[in-house]
A and B are shown apart, each in its own frame.
Chain A
Amino acid sequence: MTRYALTRLALLLVGLLVASLLIFFTLRVLPGDVAQLIAGTQGSPEQVAAIRERLGLDRPLWEQYFEWIGGVLRGDLGTSLVNGRSVGAELVQKAQVTVPLGLMSLLIALVFAVPLGVLSAVRRRRGAGTAMSVGAQTLAAVPVVWAGMMLVIVFAVWLGWLPAQGFPRTGWSTPWLAIRSLLLPAITIGIVEGAMLLRFVRSATMQAIGQDYVRTAAAKGLTKNQALLRHGLPNVGLSIITVLGLQVAGIIVGAVVIEQLFTLPGIGRMLVADVGGRDLVKVQGELLVLTGFVLIIGFLVDLVHRVLDPRQREAA
């Protein structure tokens, strides 16, 4: 087990290093630069050159990369090229919107996908199961933006129950307002992500139903449903943990889109604005943190899976 964990950890570190290289150098391929944007349409070439020098952008790329990655290793993500604010501090501030949004989305996805997924597998030969399956297929294909717009029209504009956009300026010191403003966005992401999860739960459950151990349990006197509940579902649970890593990545992408739509001051909206402003030091910090987060979740999922599933332990 320890050996497995160490190997997996080494893989994680290599992954992070490769990610940092990819992020840094692909961003440099983007046309347009921050100095030109700061100088604007009245700026002379000399002015642009002066700004580039002031920001240290005239130095060789490798030098800039090592300076950045050196800082990252010391826990310093650098400062914004545009306003000099600390990238780490900005990320922490924006995480107060994005992290709760992500957790709420995940919770909503699980709450609606797991029971419905199991149910639609158990009832797969009846109308309800088929309807759920078709419904999930449809929902999973719906673009997040469209789902969000529909929810806004119904719950914010028609019914007036929830705010259509924005996050309270008072933040989490007014928890109820904060949660209210995150509810529609979280439902939007949760439904779309949940629909994908539902299909997965359904197929995992169907697989479990056909397994020998469930049939044996049924043969020993349990009803089919009891057998499934006691022996099949733990296996379905394991499969859900496996796809959780993918779900987290999906939720992050969803958050980037949804934060634009609902004007939420989170990491996603900041990322899009910083790409538009070519604030590359900030963008690379944001991307590295997001990528790192997904990679670490993947790492943890693998470890947990290993611990929980005796078959994998024995196979090692």
Chain B
Amino acid sequence: MLRRTALLATAGLAAAALALSACTASPSPDSTGGEPDPDASLTVGLVLEPDNLDIRRTSGAALEQALIDNVYEGLVTRAPDDGNVIVPKLASDWEVSEDGLTYTFTIQEGVTFHNGEPLTVDDVVTSLTEVKDDESLQGHGDLAGVTSITAPDESTVEIVLAAPNIDFLFSLTGRAGLVFKAGDTTDMNNAENGTGPFTIADWTEGDSITLARYDDYWGEPAGVAEVVLQYIPDFTAGVNAALDGSVDVLTAVDATLAPQLDGTGFTLTTGETTDKGTLAFNNQRAPLDDPRVREALRLAIDHEALIEAQGAAETLYGPIPPLDPGYEDLSDVAPYDPERARELLADAGQEDLSLTLTIPAVYGTTVPTFLVSAFDDVGVELTVESVEFPTWLQDVYTNKDYDLSFVLHVEARDFGNFANPDYYFNYDNPEVQDLYARALATTDEDESDDLLRQAARIVSEEHAADWLYLGNTITAVGQGVSGFPVNSINVRLNLADVTVSRG
């Protein structure tokens, strides 16, 4: 609880610094007080458009943002505005056995797919079994430890694991747990047959996705009749769209442009995320295999100043953000100290060091420009190689051919990347791997948190990477719009509870 309060305070400070008109971490207030209009149409400006609608086979946060909880549903989901806790969805209830091996789900009654067919336990069993067996389906890795998925009766599904995994339920809030109609022949690239509160009425590629309320929804029907997800990749164009009234809500507002929306009837909210701005070090490549060099690079960075330049962010000195279990404030590990950085580099015999930073161009120039000057200050010459994302994926992610790399790791609970020696970080520490394995294997949440904390501290103390910042997400909510989600909306945007009142 204490942690959450501290966070709210941080978010508040960040917002005040930006001179924003309002800042809350709770759903946006009803600004007009009028009666919600159930026939309303809501237009939401988003940045990244999915390339297709096939959530089973195509990666990317854009698909999850648009479709999970809105069009497709899983057994369980998460509530980003409520500390990312796991909440029921198609499973009305669940039980975990004492040994942490057997998960028993009670399936919600009265659920229908958008084509009118009822949801059965067979659909649940088939959907999850397909993900477990077919490695080309997204989420396949999450179900690797599953030994059986069965339906003992018409309202129960039982999943048995080979070994306890405390993250298993959370992984079912993602793609691995989504439920589709067994034997469905829908062209999932361009159409859908989900169970969510919205159907897809239209997708105009390169422009927008239109969601329409599904009137036979099993739960509380959506608050608006229609939501248009308008994709506007250019940040300035997005703000212009808000100013000329073509969107009711603008997500991912650029921090430097946010003041333009001040006093225009929009309420700005600042949400927490798990977006870790990660400066990766190639831990196996000389001279970065020397911890003194990695430490020196971290000490050369004034994180507070970087965040001021970047806007809409907080500091993060370790691999686990506050929304995930196992968070601890690790700011003592790498305080800004260029003097000490120079000493460390001298110790390591690297006073004349040249390094290359590979960064996808979408991340802009603020971070690389800042790093060039910060490293220059301690005698390290940094060359910036700005590449397209597919190039990054090939050179850095797949071939691990890089010195330093920057990307925003948005996934929740992805600490496991530091316990995986094959990941592009090239970080291989058996102690961390053992702590992480034990953190997953225990059924005691406090013990798990504690083990994760220990592992995260080691990763930060060994300077396996640097965490330049933890992203905040600014949303501009128009007049009359209530209940718009605040936190982590780049990966999950549940629109069912949003209402619009005009008047």
Contacts and interface: CB of A to CB of B under 8 A. Distances in A.
Interface of A: 30-33, 36-47, 50-51, 54, 82-85, 90, 94, 149, 152, 156-157, 160, 163-167, 169, 260-263, 265-266, 269-270, 273, 276-279
B27 to A, nearest CB: 27
Interface string B30-60: 0000000000000000000101111001111
- Ranked nearest first, the 8 interchain pairs of A and B with the lowest CB-CB distance are A40-B59, A32-B390, A164-B240, A83-B52, A265-B207, A265-B206, A31-B391, A165-B237
Contact of B228 (A149, A152, A169): A169
Contacts of B392: 32
B390 A31 contact: yes
A157 B394 CA distance: 41
Contacts of B390: 30-33, 36-37, 276-278
A54 to B, nearest CB: 7
B310 interface: no
B230 interface: yes
A54 B136 contact: yes
A263 B233 CA distance: 8
Nearest to A168: B246
A37 B393 contact: yes
B351 interface: no
B57 A38 contact: yes
Contact of A38 (B58, B246, B388, B391): B58
Given A31-B391, A38-B59, A40-B60, A169 B207 contact: yes
B207 A42 contact: no
A33 B394 contact: yes
A164 B190 contact: no
Contacts of B136: 47, 50-51, 54
Interface in B223-241: 228, 230-234, 236-237, 240-241
A126 B248 CA distance: 53
Given A47-B135, A157-B244, A273 B190 contact: no
Interface in B321-347: none
A32 B394 contact: yes
A166 B232 CA distance: 8
B205 A84 contact: no
Interface string B111-145: 00000000000000000000000011010110000
B398 interface: yes
Given A32-B393, A37-B390, A84 B187 contact: yes
A37 B52 CA distance: 12
A37 B391 CA distance: 10
Contacts of A44: 135, 141
A265 B205 contact: yes
Nearest to B390: A32
B395 A50 contact: no
B254 to A, nearest CB: 15
Contacts of A30: 390
A263 B135 contact: no
B244 A163 contact: yes
Contacts of B204: 169, 265
B217 interface: no
Contacts of A279: 51
13 contacts: A31-B391, A40-B58, A82-B51, A82-B189, A83-B190, A149-B236, A157-B243, A164-B237, A169-B210, A261-B237, A266-B206, A273-B49, A277-B390
B389 interface: yes
A165 B388 contact: no
A152 B240 contact: yes
Nearest to B54: A83
Contacts of B386: none
B103 interface: no
Contacts of B233: 260, 263
B59 A269 contact: no
A286 B190 CA distance: 20
Interface in B356-413: 387-395, 397-398
Contacts of B395: 31
A50 B206 CA distance: 28
